[in-house]
Amino acid sequence: MSEPYTVGILTVSDTASVDSSVDKSGPLIKSILSDTQKYSVSQQTIVNDEIHAIQNTITSWSELNLIIITGGTGFSPRDVTPEAVKPLLTKETPGITHLLLSSSIAITPFAALSRPITGIRNKTMIITLPGSPKACQENMDAVLKVLPHALDLLLDRSVKKFHTKIQQGGVDVSSGAAGTNGTHGTNDAIGGGGGGHTCTHKHDVEGDASQTGQSASLDTPVARRLRASPYPLIHVDKALKIVAEQAKVLNVINVPVSQFLPGYVLAENVVAIEPVPGYRASVVDGYAIHFEDGPGVYQVESISLAQQASCQPLTRGKIARVATGGMVPEGANAVIMVEDTKLVREQGNEELEVEILVSSVENQNIRGVGSDCPVGQLVGRRGQRIGTELGTLASVGVRHVKAYRKPRVGILSSGNEVLDHMHTDELKPGQIRDTNRITLLAAVAASGFEAVDLGIVDDDVDEIFERLEEAVAKVDVLITTGGVSMGEADFMKPILEQKMQATIHFGRVLMKPGKPTTFATIPQGKRASKLVFALPGNPVSATVAFHLFVLPALRRMAGWEKPEHALIPVKIQHDIALDTRPEYHRVFVHIENGNLMASSTGNQQSSRLMSMVEANGLLQLPMRTPDIAVLSKGISVPCILIGSLTK
């Protein structure tokens, strides 16, 4: 028998939290669970009806397989258990909630006044039961039938074995689950779990039990391939969050202050090591004077030009010619601009006497030492992304800075039909030119990151494996295109999983284009994991998925403080029909009468690369609902800018 599931029982009750002897339901649940060998109750506590108390307990029990909560699910103002639990769930399990309600309602209609919530938090199943011991008993009777199978699926325990069986032609769920008796012959059937009903799961719903998040074995013959993706279709926001969690800031390196520094993010505060100016400098072309001498005719004593290293002190009652930026001689305490003087006497080309026409104040037209930037002044902030203001660093003597390394990004195309775009022979039927590789190489480079061309690989398991292994050794991030859909030659996911020991974090995203977008990480021992974005082959899908998912990850790795895309509201210039999936609609955004206006680039089919031409924005369109099928002209829609607003 496999290891027992670890369980925590939480009683939520103001009264029981003061006097634990009042709690009947908690001990009852424990005794029900103890009747079988399948569960081990390792935690049990009582808290009052407070959201934070409930949440603190749940989050501190993150290692448990199952948390059963009793109490706080009713209608009284103090009942807040569902409100505490819901935000902590990563997935809701409405089927189990329904099971709880329906089993109790069958006994009494008053069970409708319970507000149970059930769901999954990472690897923990959470179930809320009413406070009354009777209702707990009824609910436990119902839910215990499905719990072992639910937990096995969640914990990935017997699931692989289970699914292999299914591929081989049917399995009786009752053998794998607790006491259910439905007979299920297809992959669709998994997780239905009860009462002999025929399951008709919709595969696109996240949480569908057939979505194991694992591909079929690479040895599976085509006739036995899965006919529905085993990867749950997740929302874009969730996918972005997953990528953000995996994309870690890279190591710190020393970067010279040069024209190649812009784009790096400082990993340290940088201070001025030299003052600017380093000497007292004149602001104007003119004459250095003692301001106390006032207007009058003076003998010109010496010359100081900007490039002169030093000059003699100025004698009292005399003046000295200085140029803009030139050093003001010692003793002088103001500079009069040449326009406020008159030549009185000359010899040859030399000025002998000059009349100062105006009076001045101390330090007039003199930049003191360090007046622009003193030594120790902060000239670069940790986390600041360097732009063309790097001259500041240069001016204060900073020659190297510590910055976060920028990711190296490899790009590999895949597909037997894909040929290098420079191929000179006429294409044979079925062949296409590789557009993804140059597009993505250009996009990576244009975004300021290092792009590595990894060529094209055939749809061949061994070849792909070899090329992926080579690639992973060379880069921080690998982008592949093609081979992630449902075709017989779509090997990317199973190779990553079964040969590269990658973790596939998601294999499908609810979006258009780019639904098969796949994200995986490959562990590297103590070193940072390599990130793999296995993008769909369709050129538009690959490009949109790059902008949406890859670019923010690259920025995050390079240390950007806000790597996410900014969403800018733009007004649409014509009606746009909504799709059944949230869509990233390519648009041209421009400014008209002070407004940002967006017009579609036309047919948005994911193979039609023309829809990217001149596109500088991705409109974030919501999915169609029964109420809203079209967004009307003039409506404001959030947009990701992927290009310049100016032409």
> Which two structure tokens, joined as six digits, stand for 122?
């990472």
Mention every residue, 6+ apart, whose C-beta is less than 8 A from residue 181: 174, 194, 195, 196
> Binds 538, which of ligand AMP, Mg ion, none (CB < 5 to 8 A, cut-off by type)?
ligand AMP
Binds 11, which of ligand AMP, Mg ion, none (CB < 5 to 8 A, cut-off by type)? none
Amino acid at 273: I
* CA pair distance 539, 525, nearest whole angstrom: 34
Buried b (16+ CB within 10 A) or exposed e, 292-305: ebeeeebebbbebe
Q: How far is the CB of 513 from ligand AMP (least distance, A)?
A: 11
Nearer to ligand AMP, 437 or 586 (CB): 437
- Residue 434: name its binding partner from Mg ion, ligand AMP, none (Cβ under 5 to 8 Å by kind): ligand AMP
Do residues 414 and 456 lie in contact, with contact meaning Cβ atoms separated by under 8 Å? yes
Closest C-alpha to 591, from 639, 645, 647: 645
Inter-CA distances, 445 with 385, 408, 456, Å? 17, 10, 19
- Within 481-500, the residues that bind Mg ion by CB under 5 A are 482-483
Name the binder of 436 from Mg ion, ligand AMP, none, CB < 5-8 A by kind: ligand AMP
Please identify, among the stretches 315-323, 333-341, 476-484, 632-640, the one whose residues bind ligand AMP according to the rule CB under 6 A. 476-484
Q: How many residues line the site for ligand AMP (CB under 6 A)?
A: 20
Q: Cβ closer to Mg ion: 404 or 491? A: 491
Residue 230 beta carbon to ligand AMP: minimum distance, rounded to whole angstroms: 17
Minimum CB separation of residue 611 from ligand AMP in Å reads: 14
The residue among 536 and 582 lying less far from ligand AMP, judged by its C-beta, is 536
Residue 530 φ/ψ, nearest 5 degrees: -85, 140
Cα distance between residue 594 and residue 591, in whole Å:
6
Q: Answer yes or no whether residue 536 interacts with ligand AMP by CB under 6 A.
A: yes
Question: Under a CB-based contact definition with an 8 Å cutoff, are residues 528 and 522 in contact?
Answer: no
Interaction mask 389-428, ligand AMP, x per CB under 6 A: ------------------------x-x-xx----------
Q: Which is nearer to ligand AMP, 318 or 493 (CB)?
A: 493
Those residues whose C-beta lies under 8 Å from the C-beta of residue 364, and which sit 6 or more positions away, are 291, 334, 335, 336
Which single residue brings its beta carbon nearest to ligand AMP?
537
Tell how far CA 189 is from the center of its chain. 35
With contacts defined by CB under 5 A, name the span among 272-280, 311-319, 413-421, 449-457 that binds Mg ion.
Answer: 413-421
Q: Which of 104, 517, 538, 600 binds ligand AMP (CB under 6 A)?
A: 538
Q: Which does 616 bind (CB under 5 to 8 A by kind): ligand AMP, Mg ion, none?
A: none
Min dist CB 454 to ligand AMP, Å, is 12
Rounded-to-integer distance, Cα 267 and Cα 285, Å:
41
The binder of ligand AMP chosen from 25, 365, 485, 498 (CB under 6 A): 485
Segment lying near ligand AMP (by CB under 6 A), choices 135-143, 180-188, 533-541, 571-579: 533-541
Residue nearer to ligand AMP on the CB measure, 136 or 545: 545
Q: 521 has which bridge partners?
A: 503, 531
Binding mask 414-433 for Mg ion (x = CB under 5 A): -x------------------
Q: Is 487 in the site for ligand AMP (CB under 6 A)?
A: yes
Residue with tokens 């790009």: 411
DSSP character string of 255-282? EESSTT-TT-BBSS-EE-SS-BSSS-EE
Q: How far is the CB of 555 from ligand AMP (least distance, A)?
A: 24
Taking the complex as a whole, how short is the minimal distance between the CB of residue 535 and ligand AMP, in angstroms?
A: 8
**3-state helix, strand and coil shares in percent for the chain, rounded to the nearest 5:** 25, 30, 45
Smallest gap, in angstroms, from Cβ of residue 514 to Mg ion? 15
Residue 139 lies near ligand AMP (rule: CB under 6 A): no
Contacts with ligand AMP in 436-465 (CB under 6 A)? 436-437
Distance CA 462, CA 165 (A): 26
**Contact between 50 and 80 (Cβ < 8 Å):** yes
Report the candidate in 529, 528, 451 with the shortest Cα–Cα distance to residue 251: 528
Q: Which residue lies nearer to ligand AMP by CB, 303 or 432?
A: 432
Question: Of the two residues 84 and 441, which places its CB atom closer to ligand AMP in the complex?
Answer: 441
Sole window of 284-292, 365-373, 376-384, 479-487 interacting with Mg ion (rule: CB under 5 A): 479-487
CA pair distance 622, 635, nearest whole angstrom: 13
**List of residues 6+ apart from 545 with CB closer than 8 A:** 513, 514, 517, 533, 535, 536
Residues in contact with 154: Cβ distance below 8 Å, sequence separation at least 6, in sequence order: 65, 120, 123, 125
> Which of these, 644, 480, 450, lies nearest to 554 by C-alpha position?
450
The residue written with tokens 């022979």 in the block is 425
Contact letters for Mg ion, residues 449-478 (x by CB under 5 A): ------------------------------
Of the candidates 287, 303, 304, 302, the one whose C-alpha atom is nearest the C-alpha of residue 356 is 287
Binding site for Mg ion (CB under 5 A): 415, 482-483, 537
Binding site for ligand AMP (CB under 6 A): 413, 415, 417-418, 432, 434-437, 481-485, 487, 490, 536-539
